[in-house]
Amino acid sequence: MKEQILDRFLRYVKVDTQSKFGVEKIPSTDKQFNLSNQIVEELKRIGLSDVEIDEHCYIMATLPANTDKKIPTIGFVAHVDTSPDFTATGCEPKVWENYDGKDLVLNETGGIILRTSEFPEMLQFIGQTMITTNGMTLLGADDKAGVTEIVSAMEYLINHPEIKHGKIRICFTPDEEVGRGADLFDVEKFGAEWAYTMDGSIPGEIEYENFNAAYAEIDIQGKIVHPGSAKNKMVNSMYIAAQLMLELPTNEVPEKTEGYEGFFHLTSINGNVDKTELRYIIRDHDTEKFKAKKLFIEDLVNHFNTKFDNRISLKLTDQYYNMAEKVKPVMHIVDIAKEAISALGMKPITNPIRGGTDGSRLSFMGLPCPNIFAGGLNFHSRYEYVALESIVAATKTIVKIAEIMEKRNWD
């Protein structure tokens, strides 16, 4: 099925499905329907049941059980949109067979090179088939690799009825990259006892811990007057912003943290004398440390308001929480994934996610949902890549989970 999977993935990544921040409607971009409608027809063609897409671009479908055993209904979830962080328009994937471990020249004219010195993780894929772009767009393996894996696994199970399995539900969501993929996910309609997102990275990953996350909007109101007569009158909002930024912990930033360490991350600055806007994301795995970070921001803004005549406003919004709280009580769902990964000759890897997935929100909506590897690396950039063998391994993991589920005693 290797060539079939490659063909499917290349078809998917050539369709631009980039989502957009700051849009109220879901999906945030109509072009996400371009791929989703194709997927719907594909699911019908390969023989899935209950295939439907709603007005918000959520796809759901069913692979009916082919056994009389009573088995819990499980689900698999991926997202069709790609990140707004880097353009996805006009993606031209490149396929590098039998990768030799050397740098890959993505775009000779632009001098864009995927270097092993910068991305040493590439070396684990020597001898495999690497898929990149031409350096001018992101690839979209996040999460079209996940979509490819789920569709391919369902097709494989349909074509191999000798593999017994219970009922499986699948869903493809829009707008995950802008934090809204779970907003209109109908958990009750989905009808699974638990699910897995196919949205991780290297082969073997099974993740059930992620950041607690918040978003801070800090607006600073200055006072603009003519600089020629500004003495004791002008208030430059940008200077206040600079002072405020320097009060945040300089070591608690993404570029200086790893593992379970949290951070404050300044994502944007937009300002002039009259008004400056700062946008931060706040992250921590530990709930108490997460609360402390939010309190630190609140106290800092209050302190600056006493110094600068209440010119600063803060809007602090929780985005998602650590799914470990909801998954640890049902750890057998992680154990099943680990068993499947091990059975395929891979070593299960359970590092904490330094981010979030649809699964984190779905877990708090009543659908425990750990995250399984999809294979891609360097997401959200022109240097994104994936090995074909990783996509195949993830597809086989889905099939193996279904097989293990059927062989277990659920009475």
Output b/e per residue, 376-407; b: 16+ Cβ within 10 A: bbbbeebbbbbbbbbbbbbbbbbbbbbebbbe
pLDDT of residue 409 exceeding 80: yes
pTM for this entry = 0.90
- Choosing from 176, 199, 207, 284, the catalytic residue is 176
Q: 349 and 302 share a domain?
A: no
Cα–Cα distance, 79 to 143 (Å, whole number): 6
> Is 81 one of the annotated active-site residues of the chain?
yes
Query: With pLDDT > 70 as the criterion, what percentage of the chain qualifies?
Result: 100
Q: 76 and 164 share a domain?
A: yes
What CATH number is given to the structural domain containing 81? 3.40.630.10
Q: 399 and 351 share a domain?
A: yes
Residue where one domain finishes, among candidates 319, 354, 389: 319
Residue where one domain finishes, among candidates 319, 348, 376: 319
Cα–Cα distance, 233 to 5 (Å, whole number): 66
Q: 192 and 251 share a domain?
A: no
Q: What is the mean pLDDT of the chain?
A: 96
Q: Are strands 168-173 and 74-79 parallel, antiparallel or unpaired?
A: parallel
What are the tens digits of pLDDT across the range 193-230?
999 999 989 999 999 999 999 999 999 999 999 999 99
Instruction: Match 């995950």 to its residue by tokens.
Output: 176
Q: 217 and 199 share a domain?
A: no
Q: 160 and 271 share a domain?
A: no
Cα–Cα distance, 349 to 359 (Å, whole number): 17
Which of 139, 91, 205 shows the shortest CA–CA distance to 380? Answer: 139
Q: 111 and 159 share a domain?
A: yes
What are the tens digits of pLDDT across the range 293-323?
999 999 999 999 999 999 999 999 998 999 9
Confidence class of residue 109 from pLDDT cuts 50, 70 and 90?
A: very high
What CATH number is given to the structural domain containing 256? 3.30.70.360
Q: 133 and 29 share a domain?
A: yes
Cα–Cα distance, 296 to 315 (Å, whole number): 14
Question: Domain count of the chain?
Answer: 2
What are the tens digits of pLDDT across the range 236-285?
999 999 999 999 999 999 999 999 999 999 999 999 999 999 999 999 99
- Choosing from 81, 149, 209, 219, the catalytic residue is 81
Q: 79 and 216 share a domain?
A: no
Write the DSSP symbol of residue 16: -
Residue where one domain finishes, among candidates 319, 351, 366: 319
Q: 274 and 330 share a domain?
A: no
Q: Which domain holds residue 8?
A: 2-209+322-407
Q: 170 and 51 share a domain?
A: yes
> Is 121 one of the annotated active-site residues of the chain?
no
Cα–Cα distance, 261 to 345 (Å, whole number): 31
Query: With pLDDT > 90 as the criterion, what percentage of the chain qualifies?
Result: 95
Output b/e per residue, 253-279; b: 16+ Cβ within 10 A: eeeebeeebbbbbeeeeebebbbbebe
Q: 96 and 173 share a domain?
A: yes
What are the tens digits of pLDDT across the range 338-356?
999 999 999 999 989 888 7
Let me know: does 78 contact 198? Beta carbons within 8 Å: yes
